[in-house]
Structure 1
Amino acid sequence: MKMTNILNQFLLMDPTRIFKLFTSAFNSLTDLIYIMEVRDEKISYLYANQSGLSVLSKDQTLIGKTFDEVFSTERAAFFKQHYLKAAHSKRIVTFEDEVVLPKGNKMISETVLTPIFDNEDIYIIAVVRDVTNRSKQISELQYSKSRLEENEQRLSSLVDYNEDAIFTFDLEGYFLEVNNAAEQITGYSNGELVGMNFSEIMSKKELETVNSRFQQTIEGDMARYETKIYQKDGHEVYLSVKNIPIIVDGTIKGVYGIAKEITSEKKALEEFHLVKSRFESFVRDSKDSIHIIDNEGKVQFINEAFTEIFGFTREEVIGRDFPTVPDWLKSETNNLYDEVLNGKTIQGIDVKRQQKSGELLDISLTLSPLYDEFGHVIGISGIGRDITEKKKSERELIGLKELLELVWNNTTDVIFMIDHYGAIVQANPTFEEMFDWKVEEIKQMSPPPINLEIQTKQLEGFLTRLREGEKFVNFETQRKRKDGTIIDVLATYRKIDKGNILAMATYKDVTDSRQIMNKLKESEERYRNLVEASPEALVVHSEGGITYINQAGLDLLKAKSPSQVIGNPVMDFVHPSDRKQVVQRIQQAINQGKKGETLEERFLTLDGDMIYAETASVPIQDHGKTSVLVMFRDITTKRRAEKAMRESEERFRIIAEHTLDMIRVLNPNGKVIYCSPSVENILGYPIRSLIGKSFFDLIHPDDVDDTKRNFENIFKTKEFYQIDFRSIHLDGHSIWLNSDFVPVISPEGEIEKIIVISGDITEKKRKEEKLAKMAFYDHLTGLPNRRLFLDRLQQAMYTTDRTGKLTALMVLDCDKFKAINDTFGHDIGDEVIKEFSRRIKLSLRKTDTLSRVGGDEFTIVLPELKNENEVVDVSKRILKVVREPMDIKGHSLSITTSIGVSLYPSQGNNTESLFKQADEALYKVKDGGGNTFSF
């Protein structure tokens, strides 16, 4: 109501006064205001505010003038065009113009023309605004748009002509854009790829890993990885891929993918591993002796055949002068070495060489120079074949030519001739009896049907060696009878090279003897290893004299060889004060005919040192006589430690007061009864505030349960243990501590207190967390790969060095896994591998590490073992759980596993020797049919 009254009063005002009010308001504006009259196409000024007059450099004399009177002809026509358009269209008209100000500056103006009609009269109100800044902004925006379009063209050129495949994905993994290289690598056209999900071209085995990397990228991290896809025609293509998040205004909108094809590199790497494997297999399985010496004639390597032929072990020759050259041939041999070191290869020369026993052998020797990457000769490799028997045979055959036909027709060995292509030209009657083939049926067939299909390369290999001049090829292999039966044969091929005949071959059927020898060897090896590897000292004595001692016994008595002990009276090693007790123990065991009670006794080493041992005696029959087997457990360290503990209280206090590590002493209830000064430096708490408090009060809540569980376990095992946990600092942050919990045992066998020694490993943990993000795991099973496994093995060995407990390395694989792959395909095979690894992992402790090193090959490290029996228990659990049938995609499959084991430090002092011992044990198991374990 109030506003209405104001308007009514305003309308009743004098028109002159109203006009003054409006003009006063217009003059206060910075915009230019003009009121124009349009009459008969003529436009004249009726009003202009002060801003409008100043821009035109005019005063009130402007009123009544037309555009022609104020502006140039060109400018007047420009204005007329727009004003008449507003008048004729009866609509608001807007246009921009450049105005020159009185001081010479230029202004970009925006003029809004509003037509007003009063009966026949037409008026136009013009409002002119300064839009110079806005115009500049528009110009800059247009310039930026031009630069953006130019950059887009550059980016498009980079993408279109890049030899690497470039993809753009949405957040769900669907292709949005691809370049030409992407079409060539995948085999799909642009139209086929756009809208397709990347999973449609992925290998199923790789999909989980690639999805994980894709998820990592859409969370904001760049990801690099290698993978495999299938081209449109089905071919496999290996790619090195980099995923980059597409971020717009801080939001991830999609993913760039850049892929480089690495198929050829992958194939080359696989070929390298294949060649390496074949070479290692050749060296390992060769029946010829192989050795390597350096420039100074020192032996660097020998294979097993060398030991078998000459009788020297690795320990006896490695790093020493070559031992098989007789003194009277050393000068001649040195001349040969000089020729080889100058780059010459000496092939197949016959030489005399000496066994460890002194017996001379005839050896066919080939010497070759070894080069480094710069082409310098750094050593000599030698391959020697024992041709002693061959030489002997040659001498014996002189003058016996007339007996050849008799031998040919009546020998129990197969004899036949082959041509240069391996085809059988002629064979003796035994050939037909052994293989059930008539010679005429298979004559000229290459390869002969007695060879297994997988032996094509083997056949071509030794034929090549014979063609190139090798005179003699001898090996054990398998052949096939006409009915398909496989037999083991000892094959010998001797080069003849007469006419179309390349060589004469002889086969000896060793199937039965091979099986018997394998069983005997396995049995003997099993019992021998069991006794020799026993951690307990074992001694057998009869009628007072020692007849046997194992390695642990030698170590206990500080003897270097059995000869220092065997044959000596057993009482020589008993402390005089305990000899009466020992005699009674022995007599009691013999009289009762069973194991006697365990007693503590004192003994003397070869050095005269006294040792304490717990002993038990068992009567046994040895070569028809009653002997006594004595088992010793060394407790010298325990006794000395108990004494040292009582004497070291003061030393402990001195060390604790000055060590950088924290030392806390707890009572059996876990209350703190002592703190070293370093506690205050590391955790920030005054020592007085901790005494009498629970040790667990300062442990991070997430680590309390695990720490308490280990603490309580001390009272069961009464043994040292080590654990990492987080402790809360006075200011609230967490500190990682590596802590050793050491129980202090009273003479009565009870825990008096527990010493906790803690070191700050916060920085180490940070590094470990960073390293954990790297690729240390197998893509199929999620298990640690070989690189991570070697680290775990090394850590276990360090723990053994510190604690004295054993570390076991287990090498295992799936028996006959290749048959599953060949029969059911690789997808089923992969599922079998995953189930196989899952079962094994369930059979292990949390502290054990299972690793997949490739294919069906796995390794396990078992740290901190008390004795060998724990390894036996784990092996039996694995064998049992693996044998249980597997239900894989509707197929019921049964597999077994073979396990080779080596122990640190008793069977190797580094990772290489441990792996070698475990591999050799695995080969023994495989040779025996698998499905068991061997040390």
Structure 2
Amino acid sequence: LNPHAVNLLAAHSKKDILEKPFSYFLPNLEPLTRQFNLASRANRTNGCLQLEAQIKRLDEQSIAVDLTVSSILYQNHQALLIIAKEVEQQKKKTRDQLVEHLNRYRLLARHATDIISKLLPSGEMTYISPACMQLLGYSPNEMTGQIIFKFVPPEDQEHLKAALQRLQSDEQSHTIRYRLIQKNQQSLWVETNFKAISNPPTGQVSEIVAVTRDISDRKQVEEFLRVSQQRYEELFNEAPVMYVTSYPKNGELYIKNCNRLFLETLGYSREEVLNQPMLKFYTEASARRCMEGGFQRALTGQFATEERELVKKDGSVIPALLRALPEFDAAGEVIGTRAMYVDISELKKAYQALQESEQRFRDLVETAPETIFSLDSRYGRFTSLNSSFEESTGWKREQWLGRPFIELIHPEDRELALQSYERLIKGLSLPPVELHIRCKDGHYIPCEVIAKLQKVEGRFVGILGFVRDMSFRKKAEKALRASEERFRALYEDNPSMYFTVDRQGKVLSVNKFGAAQLGYEPRELVGKSILDLYLPGDRDSVKQQIENCRKNPEKIFTWKFRKTRKDGSVVWVKETARTILETNDNPVIFIVCENITKRKLAEDRLRESEKRFRSFFENAPDIYLILTPSGIINDLNQRGLKHFGFARNDILNHPFIEFIHPEDVDTAQAALTKILATQQPPQSIEIRMVNKQGEYFWVNQEFSLICDEENHVKSIFVVSRDITENKRLHQELARAQRLETAGRM
């Protein structure tokens, strides 16, 4: 076949047609062959037949042709020579369709918002649509005949050249993203789809059609999403709590991602953790609680804060508080969970130390703020109750002495109370239990009960217990849990302070929690130097740390310093900082700040407590002071020394009011004056006292007189109970309510 036959049959080359059966192109070949044989016998020659037929092309289209068929001798074989001419009517129809398609193409190119252009393989533009004026500022005449690389930044030219080269090799179409230079010399991000147009006879690329679209808005959104994702990852990985995201599979949750603290705490590498079942890192008891409904509650959003035990790689166990929330996809479907684990090992140790210390508390029962009771080991009847029982319930202790304790318990809690009682009788240890106790007016108060068997020379003689009123704490915890459900965003849920600081050290932003921790509103801190928040003695060191952080982008720095609150009080903080780049390439220092004041105080108290508890008086749970009638400190217990931070010789023989907040001196002096004048103890007062470090703490004080045989006042006995935590809970409750109100607004 000749080249015209290749074009007629819509083929790219001869090899697409050779060796194909001719019946593919001429389905009615058999009748035509019989007609040709009859004509040959009639003419008694090689034969020549002329007729019209429909030929099927490779593109599945059929065209009408005039066929001339002759018999010839070809390479010593009898063969058919077929000459085909497209019917003139078909040619005209094809030309008309071509003109119509061309007109439509030009109309589309003229009105399209995308740039439509034609290029030679060398990159020369032979045509460009008017849309170039709107997107690039050039007219079509200014760009036609130019090489496209003239309008491409040097750093993107190799990328474009490679794309054009691939079109000339084996690819028919290719899409790339690059930048074009506008007439005002600004760069514009575009996406271009190149399509190669080949010359059918040769198969070589003759021209390239390009459709170019403006994607600058999309690139800005992508960059914004990239920075947002980077910030989220920073927050996720550097948070002072353990974060784990998971996905459900076969009835279990598998780890999808976790932060650095989780890996460091458990001692695993990331590869050892990802895509592993979460139960693998739980103790058997914790895993059982999860399988009994914990997973399902987390996926449905009904999961409350619970305690779990995590197993480290070396086999040791870490107690942790778990808070889990469902994670949703864009369609609102649950795809897994987000969990926060807080290591409470130190709190557990402190709590254990407190339990051990309670063995030393046996006397001064009447002055204790908790209800202290004893039961006989046979019938569970009260054998003693202190005065705190009367104050908290309204009953007279005489009304209950000799009566079973179970009658005082709420009906719904009696089964738990009896089980706990039986456990004690069997000699087993009993953890604290929560029970509701009936008051005289009929209402019930939630209490925490701690009890243990009393032994005398190895014999069980009764049960000793302590009852603490948890009404306020329960209300505060309930309000806080309700508030936490409304603030699930990672930034607001995290109990840490977050600052962003520029290269000069000025605060760019601070979260509400961080500002509140320092006694400020966020707007008061924005624009302020971060150094102003630190103690003067720490500022040079902080400045050096921030400078090191700025000079080492992407490197993480950690330090511990003291900050001053708005009211002048001092807090210890642990800060983790890292320099990140904003979208405009400006360096910003991201600081995660954790308040460790209570941890440091708790550590100091725990270290000092075992050294100072020596006598029955010294082991009291509250601060006990003995004053002279003139208000001079004559003695105090070890709890007092621990709170004040002074040595005994540094505090004895000093006026009591020297250790009271200036604003509360009048209140304390009035209480002392009243008890000396009336010899009747006043109602308890709440004042602030100061320790050696200049830090103030809240106490609830009760006064009593120590008189001689002639009823002359010898000393004043003061019981001071630290209520700083209750005050803090009250403040947090108020803050949570304010946040809730702001959220509704």
TM-score by length of 1: 0.27
TM-score by length of 2: 0.33
Q: Relative CO higher for 1 or 2, CA cutoff 8 Å, sep ≥ 6? A: 2
The structure that has the greater radius of gyration is 1
